[in-house]
Amino acid sequence: MNQIVTIAKKEFKDAIRNKVFLTFLIFLLGLTAISIYVGSVNYQAKVSLFEKTYAQLIVNGQPSDTLVKPEFFPLQLLRATIEYLEIIGAILAISLGYLSIAKEKGNGTLPLIFTRPISRKKYYIGKMLGNIALIVSISVILFLFTFLLIRFVGGVNLNSLEITKILLTTGATILYLFIFFSLSALFTIIVKHPSNALIFSFVIWLFFVLIVPQIGDTMDTDNQVPGGFFNAIHVNKEQSNIILKDFSTYEKLRNGTEEISITKHYERLVFAFLGIKDMYNNKFLGFIFKDKLQDLDLIVIFLLVFGITPVYAFNRSKNLWQQNE
Amino acid sequence: MKNTLTITFAEIKSLFRERIVYSITLVFILMSMASSFIGWSTFTTANAVYKSSVVFLQGQGITNIASNPLLKISTLTSFDNLIIYISLIGALLAIIVGHHSMMHERKSGILQVLFTRPVTKKSVIFGKVLGLSITIFSIVGITALISILSSYFLPLTPLNFSDISHLLVFFFISFLYMLFFAVIGLYFAINAKSQSLALFLPVCIWVGITFILPELGTGLTPTALLNPVTLLQLPILDTFFQVSQKLLAPFSLAWHYYTISGELLGSSFTASLPILKVLMKNILQILTLLGGTFIFLFLSIKSLERFDSKGDVVNE
């Protein structure tokens, strides 16, 4: 146990000293600030548009009761932050997984380390725990920073339910980032040249984080026309659900495409926590968990598969002894 | 000149020998093929949904039914997804190609040997960039050919001469866009001390150009920036976004690429514009894109001139 803790501590310290890690952390913090600011500017623009339209209707003597004033939900300001975590957070996790294995492979230090009385499994678990501690620290720093921005710059007091929702989002983010860490570590373990492992990880990242959700989104019939296809032909939500029943195979295929992306499950879960999807706004956690259980289950399955596989691969891989290219 | 051409051909051979390069090229080409299929299947389904909606509404006794909004769509809209795939996979592929171009030689020590020969550092860079350009041009050319051919295999509206010309110009602009990222990959491969940093830094710049700058200029979130339908249909912009869009214009290359491509291919709310009109309207944006490439090319030349291959050690 002592050996695992020692390796974990060393891993943590090494990562903090690494320029790649620091660059990404600063980048993410900057993006969080920018996205919250842009979110608030967007909200103010909506309110201003509402006020102008309202005033115009009053001047024209037209009824204004159909206009709905945009409501302010502070957690919705986190939308772009979450999207950046999906994209850049995943790259950060990939960099941790890659660096964690590649530096040992590149320096050729592994044969030396294993002359000491430590098993491969313990060594990898130590590295993994060090990186988990790092991922937890990053997520906590990021969401604490978000909380402080909303509280002191935005001047919004979050209630206990909202704070709990931010904590749950932090937890889900840790799981999501850990999956990408493990994926990248796995590639670096099994692929002969570490740089190729990094490129493979980027390709997988690109495919599952950006391309697959994008395909699902663009295949949505309602997304074919700006403002919504059904809106353009004056069909409401209930009616569109009835009409789409005849296209269930297409809808299943579209949804199935999205479902293979871990990012989509993370997004669905976290958007529900934060009320970014309107139907989850002001809802209790029990309702959200019940409704998003499938997404949570799939995140845990991904986590188990990608969490355990590198431990096994590290124990067996012959490519670990590969020296610098 | 002879030296430059020798390096160019060596570069092309070396790139196509890299398994990772042609694997990603294959992914890119397959995605382009998928793009046509996705565009076709979505358009066909949406049309069928419209017909079902008409039957459903008539069954409800509604007679005043809106016309099919898809009829206003440009023929080339089914290629819209390509804009996104090129800005994602194409740009990443270009970074990797540019990275490999120099990193391989730094790691293997070829650069040190090369500089003992009577070649100038400038001719090395020009040879490499020419090699990169030919490689990327070939990849984009194959993608263009597949996209045009796919329209004959999928029952889309047949493409006329004007449509094909628009597509070809779109692919040429895409080539310029990818070349910019390839030169960035090359620049960092010359300068970074570690291989990981040489890959991560251009990826950071790519994320910044693709997501952050457009968000600051339009307020669109990263996901919204990946939907070609909503991408170019902006709401009336707030003063903040109007100002930031102007300030960030010299750097917002992805946004310029989206705008030019959207105007060439048309979208669900506009027809494609005449080629000359698009080019004239976006001359500044095209020059910005070229300018960005030349700046990084210039910086690469300067970096290589200062480069000391003797003491060069590349870490992971």
Cβ separation A219–B212 shorter than 8 A: no
Q: Which range, of A127-136, A234-243, B74-83, averages the lowest pLDDT?
A: B74-83
- Closest-CA residue of chain B to A23: B201
Looking at residue B263, its pLDDT comes to: 86
Q: Tell me what pLDDT residue B272 has.
A: 66
Q: Identify the H or E element spanning A131.
A: helix A120-148
Q: What percent of chain A has pLDDT over 70?
A: 97
Are A45 and B238 an interchain contact pair (Cβ–Cβ within 8 Å)?
yes
CA distance A227 to A158: 32
Tell me, what's the pLDDT at B308? 72
A210 vs B201, B226, B241: nearest CB: B226
Q: Which domain holds residue A301?
A: 2-321
Residues of chain A with Cβ-Cβ distance to B244 below 8 Å are none
H-state helical runs in chain B: 2-17, 19-59, 80-85, 91-108, 110-114, 121-153, 161-191, 195-207, 213-218, 228-231, 239-248, 253-265, 275-281, 283-306
**SS percent in chain A: helix, strand, coil, step 5:** 80, 0, 20
The interface predicted TM-score (ipTM) is 0.77
- Statement: residue A182 has pLDDT above 50: yes
Cβ atoms B78, B43 nearer than 8 A: yes
Q: Which positions 177-236 of B are in contact with A (Cβ < 8 Å)?
A: 194-197, 199-201, 203-204, 207, 211-212, 215-216, 219, 221-223, 226-230, 233, 235-236
Give me the mean pLDDT over the B166-195 stretch: 93
Q: What is the pLDDT of residue B231?
A: 67
User: Residue A324: its pLDDT value, please?
Assistant: 46
How far from A252 is each of A52, A213, A255, B36, CA to CA, in Å? 42, 14, 5, 20
Q: Is residue B46 part of a domain?
A: no
Q: Tell me how many domains chain A contains.
A: 1
- Residue in B74, B16, B106 with CA at minimum distance from that of residue B308: B106
In a domain, B44, yes or no: no
Q: Let me know if residue B92 belongs to a domain.
A: yes
Q: What is the phi/psi pair of residue B194, to 5°?
A: -120, 155
Give the whole-angstrom CA distance, residue B21 versus residue B182. Answer: 12
Which residues in chain B touch residue A207, judged by CB atoms under 8 angstroms apart? 27
Confidence check: pLDDT of A79 > 50? yes
Rounded to 10°, the helix B161-191/B253-265 angle is 170
Are the CB atoms for B137 and B47 separated by under 8 Å? no
Most confident of B69-78, B180-189, B197-206: B180-189
Cβ contacts (< 8 Å) between B15 and chain A: which residues?
none
CA-based nearest residue in chain B for residue A226: B230
The more confidently predicted of residues B4 and A300 is A300
Quote the minimal CA–CA distance from A206 to chain B in Å: 7
| Contact flag B227-A218 (C-beta cutoff 8 Å) | yes
In a domain, B275, yes or no: yes
Q: In the structure, how many helices (H) and strands (E) does chain A have?
A: 15, 0
Mean pLDDT of A36-46: 80
The contacts of residue B73 (CB under 8 Å, 6+ apart) are: A224, B43, B266, B267, B268
- Please give the mean pLDDT across all residues of chain B: 83
Structure tokens at A155: 């001047």
Task: Decide if A233 and B53 are in contact by the 8 Å CB cutoff.
Answer: yes
Among candidate residues B251, B262, B103, the one with its CA nearest the CA of residue B187: B103
Q: Residue B194 in 3-state DSSP?
A: strand
Q: Note whether A179 and A309 are within 8 A (CB).
A: no
The beta-carbon neighbor of B92 closest among A45, A206, A235 is A206
pLDDT at res. B274: 83
DSSP A221-232: GGGGSTT-HHHH
What does the pLDDT average to over B253-276? Answer: 80
Confidence band for B286, pLDDT divided at 50, 70 and 90: very high
How far apart are the C-alpha atoms of A13 and A127, rounded to whole Å?
11
Q: Which of A49, A98, A224 sits opposite B268 (nearest CB)?
A: A224
The CA distance from B11 to B125, in Å, is 11
* Longest alpha-carbon distance in chain A: 87
> What does the pLDDT read at residue B242?
79
Q: In this structure, what DSSP letter does residue A300 have? A: H
Reported confidence tier of residue B262, pLDDT bands at 50, 70, 90: confident
> Is B197 in Cβ contact with A19 (below 8 Å)?
yes
- Give me the mean pLDDT over the A103-120 stretch: 80
Could you tell me if residue B209 is inside a domain? yes
The answer to whether residues B297 and B184 touch, using CB atoms and an 8 Å cutoff, is no
Distance between alpha carbon A323 and the CA centroid of its chain, in Å? 34
List B residues 61-80 in contact with A (Cβ-Cβ < 8 A): 65-66, 68-70, 73
Question: Does a structural domain hold residue B54?
Answer: no
Please report the pLDDT score of residue A239 as a whole number. Answer: 87
The whole-number pLDDT of residue A325 equals: 41
How far is the alpha carbon of B233 from chain A, nearest alpha carbon, in Å? 7
User: Which of A237-246, B39-48, B249-258, B265-274 comes out lowest in average pLDDT?
Assistant: B265-274
- B219 contacts in chain A (CB < 8 Å): 38, 41-42, 45
* Distance between CA atoms of residues A156 and A146, nearest Å: 12
Distance from CA of A84 to the nearest CA of B (A): 7
Q: Inter-chain contact B41–A219, Cβ cutoff 8 Å?
A: yes
Inspect the interface and report whether the beta carbons of A244 and B43 lie closer than 8 Å: no
Burial bucket for residue A88 (CB in 10 Å: 0-12, 13-18, 19+): buried
Mean per-residue pLDDT over chain A, rounded: 86
Structure tokens at A271: 């958007």
Give the closest residue to B20 by CA, choosing from A163, A202, A72, A131: A202
| Cα gap B75→A166, rounded to integer Å | 45
B241 occurs within a structural domain: yes
| A53-71 average pLDDT score | 77
Per-range mean pLDDT, top range of A107-111, A188-192, B67-71: A188-192
pLDDT at A296 over 80: yes
Instruction: Give the 3-state secondary structure of residue B315.
Output: strand
Q: pLDDT at position B309, please? A: 64
pLDDT of residue B187: 95
Give chain A positions within 8 Å (CB) of B69.
Answer: 224-225, 229, 232-233
Q: What range defines the domain where residue B194 resides?
A: 2-36+76-306
Which has more pLDDT, B301 or B108?
Answer: B301
Taking 60 as the threshold, does the pLDDT of residue A164 lie above it? yes
User: Sorting pLDDT into bands at 50, 70 and 90, what band is A46?
Assistant: confident
Spell out which residues of chain B touch residue A242, defining contact as CB-CB under 8 Å: 56
Q: How confident is the model at residue B94 (pLDDT cuts 50, 70, 90)?
A: very high
DSSP states of A133-195: HHHHHHHHHHHHHHHHIIIIIS-----HHHHHHHHHHHHHHHHHHHHHHHHHHHHHHHSSSHH
Over the Cα atoms of chain B, what is R_g?
A: 22
Q: d(Cα A293, Cα A302) in Å, to the nearest integer?
A: 14
By Cβ distance, the residue of A24, A195, A247 closest to B195 is A195
Quick one: pLDDT at residue B21?
A: 77
Alpha carbon of residue B85 to chain centroid: 7
From chain B, the residues in CB contact with A79 under 8 A are 221
Token reading at B178: 């990818």
Range of A29-43, A193-207, A256-270 with top mean pLDDT: A256-270
Compute the nearest-CA separation of B138 from chain A (Å): 21
Contacts of range A215-218, beta carbons closer than 8 Å, 24 or more positions apart: A215/A257, A215/A258, A215/B34, A215/B38, A216/A254, A216/A255, A216/A257, A216/A258, A216/A261, A216/A264, A217/A258, A217/B223, A217/B226, A217/B227, A218/B38, A218/B42, A218/B81, A218/B84, A218/B227, A218/B228, A218/B229
Q: Is residue B135 part of a domain?
A: yes
CA distance B221 to chain A (A): 6
Question: For A288-299, what is the mean pLDDT?
Answer: 93
The mean per-residue pLDDT over the stretch A202-215 comes to 87
Q: What single-letter amino acid sits at B268?
A: S
A292 pLDDT band, cuts 50/70/90, is very high
CA distance A79 to A82: 5
| Structural domain total, chain B | 1
Mean pLDDT for the stretch of residues A99-116: 81
- CB-CB neighbors (< 8 A) of B36 in chain A: none
